[in-house]
Amino acid sequence: MPRYLIGVTFAPGDDPAPMDRWSAAETTAHLAHYDALNDELRASGELVSLTVLTLPDRARVVRSDGRATEVADGPFAEVHEWLAGFHVVDVADEARAVEIAARVSAVPGRGGEATRQPVHVRPFPTTAPTTAEEMDGWLADRGGSTGA
């Protein structure tokens, strides 16, 4: 079965209010929605892994030429572009991955309303390129080229 990454960023949905403005009951309902979904995915055998990530201010950008390594705090993209967490699912097809993503997007927010937060669905490739020729073919399928 194909694997998909279902990613949530810090982008708000319909209600831009940050979670620190939510009531405890609203936050509890939000987390309970995720718990129930995660329990279902575990029970169905579709959940490969999941994680919540720290806030972007804890992220580091690392650059190295193999001799010297630079570690920086930024520059940062807009906070709403940073990955907040993700599920890796092993499902029958893309339609099932989209169905799961829709459940993530419908997580309740303030007032119990679905957040409609944007959720990314990205398939894992079946194989990764290991040669320059394979990389050129992989990129050509996506409209790019290594120039090799």
pLDDT for residue 139:
85
Is 147 a member of any domain? no
Number of domains in the chain: 1
> Per-residue pLDDT tens for 57-74?
888 889 999 999 999 886
Q: What pLDDT band is residue 79 in, cutting at 50, 70 and 90?
A: low
Q: pLDDT digit string (tens) for 89-101?
A: 999 999 999 999 9
Residues of the chain above pLDDT 90, percent: 66
Residue 54 included in any domain:
yes
What residues contact residue 97 under an 8 Å CB cut-off, 6+ apart? Answer: 2, 4, 6, 89, 91, 121, 123
* H helix intervals, the chain: 24-44, 94-105, 132-140
**Residue 22 DSSP code:** S
The pLDDT of residue 21 is above 70:
yes
Q: Does residue 144 register a pLDDT over 60?
A: no
Examine residue 46 and state whether it is found in any structural domain, yes or no. Answer: yes
Q: State the chain's mean pLDDT as an integer.
A: 90
Distances (CA, A) of 10 to 103, 120, 141: 17, 12, 30
Rounded to an integer, what distance in angstroms lies between the CA atom of residue 99 and that of residue 112? 20
Contact 109, 30 (CB under 8 A): yes
Mean pLDDT of 86-111: 97
Whichever domain contains 27, its CATH number is 3.30.70.1060
Domain-embedded: residue 49: yes
Query: Does pLDDT of 146 surpass 80?
Result: no
Residue 3: band (very low, low, confident or very high) from pLDDT cuts 50, 70, 90: very high
Average pLDDT over residues 38-48: 98
Lowest mean pLDDT: which of 16-25, 69-78, 105-114? 69-78
Q: Which pTM does this prediction carry?
A: 0.83
Look at residue 25 and tell me if it is in a domain. Answer: yes
Q: Do 33 and 107 touch, CB atoms closer than 8 A? A: yes
Burial group, residue 109, by CB count within 10 angstroms (0-12, 13-18, 19+): buried
Higher pLDDT, 30 or 143: 30
Residue 145 lies in a domain: no
Residue range of the domain that includes 30:
3-140
